[in-house]
Amino acid sequence: MAIPVLEARHVSKHFRDPIDVKVLDDIGFTITRGEFVSVVGKSGCGKSTLLYVLSTMDTDYEGEIWIDGENMKLKTHHELAHVRNEKIGFVFQFHYLLNEFTVLENVMLPALKLGRYPREEAAERAMHRLKQLEIDHLAQKAANQISGGEKQRVAIARALINDPLIIMGDEPTGNLDKRNSEIVFGIFRQLAEEFNQTMLIVTHDMAFAARTHRTITMEDGRILLT
Amino acid sequence: MNVKLTMEIAWSLMLARWKQTLVAAIGVTFSITMFITLLSFMTGLNQLLDSLILNRTPHVRIYNEIKPSEVLPIQRVRELDGYHHFVHSVRASTAREEILNSEAILRAIQSDQRVLGVSPKASAQVFFNAGNVDITGVVNGIDVLAEAELFHFGEYVVAGSLPDVHKLPNTIILGKPLAARLMVELGDIIQLTTPDGERYQAKVVGLYQSGLQDFDKTQSFASLTTVQKILGKSPSYMTDIQVKLNRLEDAPSVAREYQLLFGTEAADIQTANAQFDTGTFIRTLIAYAVGVTLLIVAGFGIYNILNMMIYEKMDSIAILKATGFSGRDVRLIFLIIALGIGFFGAITGLFFGFVLSSIIDQIPFVTEALPTTKTYPINYDPLFYLIGLAFSIVTTYLAGLFPAVKASKVDPVVIIRGK
């Protein structure tokens, strides 16, 4: 039987400033383990807003979000930070690496924060992830000295470091050229097929969405198709 | 929370803006340096000025005041109780400056646990004869050795020999300006006259300079026995008993006690020299006020730099939060940065403060008024270093707290979506 990883129950959200706008309207769906799901929709349909609500970073919503059998509504900010650290991996449109650190350190940081493994083992695991994404030769470079496509691959390695329950992506290929988009998509598909990694990717690239297992289509804060 | 990881992140953020961090640290260093130097120098000067008087002043001085008796004979008449008497212009009679039963009092004081030492004194008003001119002055008969030990008498004898006046009879130490007025030098014989008309000759064996010109113009010192001889009194004659206590603070209570016990007057140092305490207090207060102001200015510097750093590092803060660092962790990171700047700034500041005050300590400072002082006085009290360190850490903590709280409240969604 399919195990639910993430579940949204009647999730609604309003933007109150400057005027009251309902951006999410009674969203409900379930993602089970191993699913590779994409969320598509026009600009402003609320798909990114939904992702950030699901990510636990945005706590201003109505309804319930369950991750790994736990209700996120009941947790404090500190506990939510721990959930993000342990169970969720993020890949953003802009690569968001910490420029003060090397590539390897960027990848290691969430693992060090989690503290499940000692430092040496965390470094080993980070190297393993970098190898898997074929960017291990960049490990000792400063994060701001590598190309955009490489940065996005480092971000994916960082998202994977704690073996998260789910990876969330906000237009991960949106800021990349065709070739790099292909590489990144290839990585996602490999993760889904070979490692059975659960993923939820927001995109406006219909070609990208078409190649995922399941596509959720949104319009005006509602789910049209799932 | 993994402290080592937090420190590492804080350190990396600092390194990324090392110039600003350095400027902030230098601000703290400068203020601590000045704080230490200022206080060391100020309190050094304070001690010097105070010691000018306090070193030479007994903690408790026992003496007899010439005054009329407090109870008049008419008040002793029982039948006149409740009546008003009209006795005016009461005067003292049979003036005695001598302390009665002085040897017993000396013994009693010497056996008191609170007393460090005691030195008897007999002073006599005399006229120094210089040709046809008589100069009024005072001869203080002292126990030279006790006086040297308790009241640093030796430090103020600028020429001649201290033991001589102790050992040789009919010898005298003159105030340096007094000797100049009498036109005598070491080894010369001077003549003096007592108020009773007795003439006496003494050999000058030393010159004395306290730093208070007017005081030195009239004072001279001889051994207690010499003065007793000048006055033609017995060996128990003394006008003052000077007491030095183990603890200066006990002086008022001890003085009150002796006054009742011995039936004499007893003055304590605090009452006699209240203005010195006030002066010292005000000068120290000013030094602290300036030092603290410097530190607060440095605190604003840290506040500014951390605020700037937070605006620059919004992206980093957002990503830290997205990958599982909570607001609390972020606040801790920025507090560590602030405290790091404060701590290292303070340590180097303490070091430079020590160096600077050592340099001031080497600068020659020679003045007629202070014969024992050769360089500027510095007080190396470890307390200043402790206060400097503690205060700089508190200031930088407060300066870092507001930016750190602001950083902890950064909403990662706003930053990440806002691109």
Which tens digit of pLDDT belongs to each residue from A46-65?
Answer: 888 888 888 888 888 888 88
What is the spatial distance between Cα B43 and Cα B380, in angstroms, rounded to a whole number? 9
pLDDT band for B348, please (50, 70, 90 cuts).
very high
Mean pLDDT of all residues in B91-106: 80
B323 → chain A, closest CA residue:
A85
Token output for A95:
């690569």
Helices A148-160 + A103-114 axis angle, to 10: 20
CB B52 within 8 A of CB B370: yes
Instruction: Quick: pLDDT tens for B388-418.
Output: 888 888 888 888 888 888 888 888 877 777 6
Average pLDDT, chain A: 83
Distance CA B33, CA B25 (A): 12
| Integer Cα distance of A12 and B156 in angstroms | 91
**How many residues appear in chain A?**
226
For B36-81, the DSSP string reads HHHHHHHHHHHHHHHHHHHTTS-SEEEE------SS-GGGG-GGGT
- Per-residue confidence (pLDDT) for residue B212, from 0 to 100: 78
Contacts of B416 (CB under 8 A, 6+ apart): A52, A92, A94, A96, A170, B318, B322
Q: Do B19 and B339 contact (CB within 8 A), yes or no?
A: no
For B332, how many CA atoms within 13 A lie in the half-sphere containing its CB? Answer: 16
Q: What's the CA gap between B5 and B72, in Å, rounded? A: 88
Q: Report the range of poorest mean pLDDT among A15-19, B111-115, B339-343, B362-366.
A: A15-19
pLDDT, mean of residues B5-11: 85
Distances (CA, A) of B131 to B183, B216, B219: 10, 21, 19
Q: What percent of chain A has pLDDT over 70?
A: 99
Task: Tell me what pLDDT residue A96 has.
Answer: 77
Residue B70 corresponds to which tokens in the numbers above?
């407090």
B346 within 8 A of B389, measured Cβ to Cβ: yes
Determine what percent of chain A is predicted with pLDDT higher than 90: 0
Q: How confident is the model at residue B357 (pLDDT cuts 50, 70, 90)?
A: very high
Interface probe for A, chosen from B323, B332, B415 (most Cβ of A below 10 Å), is B323
Q: B351 falls in which pLDDT band (50, 70, 90)?
A: very high
Give helix B382-408 / helix B18-54 axis angle, nearest 10°.
150
Give me the CATH code for the A4-98+162-225 domain, please.
Answer: 3.40.50.300
Taking 70 as the threshold, does the pLDDT of residue B373 lie above it?
yes
Reply yes or no on whether the pLDDT at B286 is more than 90: no
Q: For position A55, what pLDDT does the model report?
A: 84
Q: Do residue A100 and residue B12 have CB atoms under 8 angstroms apart?
A: yes
Cross-chain Cβ contact A170/B316 below 8 Å? no
- The winner for highest mean pLDDT among A11-20, B96-105, B122-131 is B122-131
DSSP string, B271-329: HHTHHHHHHHHHHHHHHHHHHHHHHHHHHHHHHHHHHHHHHHTHHHHHHHHHTT--HHH
Q: For A45-200, where are the alpha helices, taking DSSP H only?
A: 47-54, 77-87, 103-114, 119-132, 148-160, 178-195
Note whether B418 contacts A: Cβ–Cβ < 8 A: no
**Measured in Å, how far apart are chain A's first and last C-alpha atoms?**
20
Residue B66: what pLDDT? Answer: 78
Distance in Å, alpha carbon of A1 to nearest chain B alpha carbon = 30
Cα–Cα distance, B152 to B210 (Å, whole number): 11
**Spatial distance between the Cα atoms of A160 and A155, rounded to a whole number of angstroms:** 9
The least confident of A125-129, B115-119, B142-146, B152-156 is: B152-156
Q: Is the pLDDT of residue A90 over 70?
A: yes
Nearest to A110 among B16, B324, B327 (CB): B324
Is the pLDDT higher at B298 or at B232? B232
Q: What is the pLDDT of residues B226-256, one digit of tens each?
A: 888 888 888 888 888 999 888 888 888 888 8
- Average pLDDT value for residue range A169-193: 83
Instruction: Specify the higher pLDDT residue, A193 or B120.
Output: B120
Over range B311-337, report the average pLDDT.
85
| Tally of CA atoms within 13 A in the half-sphere of B146 that contains its CB | 17
- CB < 8 Å to B326, chain A: 77-78, 80-82
**Residue B413 and residue B317: Cα distance in Å, rounded?**
11
Establish if A142 touches chain B: CB-CB under 8 angstroms.
Answer: no
**Model ipTM?**
0.85
Is B154 part of the contact surface with chain A (CB cutoff 8 Å)?
no
Label residue A95 by pLDDT band (50, 70, 90). low
Confidence of residue B349 (pLDDT cuts 50, 70, 90): very high
Q: What is the mean pLDDT of residues B176-180?
A: 90
Nearest neighbour of A94 by CB, restricted to B323, B413, B419: B419
Check CB contact of A116 with chain B, cutoff 8 Å: no
Residue with tokens 């969720």: A88
Q: Which residue has the tokens 């202070």?
A: B370
pLDDT at B347: 93
Tell me the average pLDDT of chain B. 85
Q: Which pLDDT value is given to residue B371?
A: 65
CB-closest option in A52, A93, A113 to B325? A113
Q: Please check whether residue A115 touches B, CB under 8 A.
A: yes
Asked if B318 lies within 8 A of A96 by C-beta distance, the reply is yes
Residue A101: which of B12, B324, B412 has the nearest Cβ? B12
Minimum Cα–Cα distance from A116: chain B residue: B2
Residues above pLDDT 70, as percent of chain B: 98
Of B155, B156, B60, which Cα lies nearest the Cα of B116? B60
What is the model's pLDDT at position B77?
86
Question: What three-state secondary structure class fits B419?
Answer: coil
pLDDT at B366 over 70: yes
Give mean pLDDT, residues A82-103: 83
Other C-beta atoms lying within 10 Å of the C-beta of residue B139: 26
CB contact under 8 A, A81 and B15: no
Closest Cα of chain A to B339: distance in Å?
Answer: 20
CA gap A120, A114 in Å, rounded: 14
pLDDT at B52 over 80: no
Q: What span, in angstroms and rounded, lies between the C-alpha atoms of B167 and B165?
A: 6
Radius of gyration of chain B (CA): 33
In the block, residue with structure tokens 């960027």: A106
Q: What is the pLDDT of residue A174?
A: 78
pLDDT mean over B190-200: 88
Please calculate the CA angle B204-B205-B211 and round it to the nearest 5 degrees: 90
Name the residue with higher pLDDT: A3 or B184.
Answer: B184
Q: Residues of chain B with pLDDT > 90: what percent?
A: 8
Residues 66-95 of A with CB under 8 A from B: 77-78, 80-82, 84-86, 90, 92-94
Pairing of strands A88-91, A166-170: parallel
Mean pLDDT for A82-99 is 83
Q: What is the mean pLDDT of residues B318-326?
A: 84
> Using CA atoms, how far apart are residues B198 and B230, in angstroms rounded to an integer?
8
A48 phi/psi in degrees, rounded to 5: -70, -40
From first CA to last CA, the distance across chain B in angstroms is: 30
Is there a cis peptide before residue A18, judged by omega within 30 degrees of 0?
Answer: yes
> Is there a contact between B316 and A110 if contact means CB atoms under 8 Å apart?
no
The pLDDT of residue B355: 95
CA distance A164 to A109: 14
CB atoms < 10 A from the CB of B171, how many? 20
pLDDT at residue number B127? 92
Spell out the residues 6+ positions from residue B229 whose beta carbon is closer than 8 angstroms to its own.
Answer: B169, B170, B200
Are the C-beta atoms of A110 and A87 separated by less than 8 Å? Answer: no
CA distances, B6 to each of A18, B3, B135, B383 (Å): 38, 5, 81, 32
pLDDT at position B94, please? 65
Partners of A91 in the β-ladder? A169
Determine contact: A195 vs chain B, CB below 8 A: no
Count Cβ atoms within 10 A of the Cβ of residue A211 and give its class: 0-12 exposed, 13-18 middle, 19 or more buried: middle
> In this model, does residue B276 exceed pLDDT 80?
no
* Closest CA of chain B from A211, distance in Å: 26
- Our CA-based measurement puts residue B397 at a distance from the nearest CA of chain A, in whole angstroms, of 23
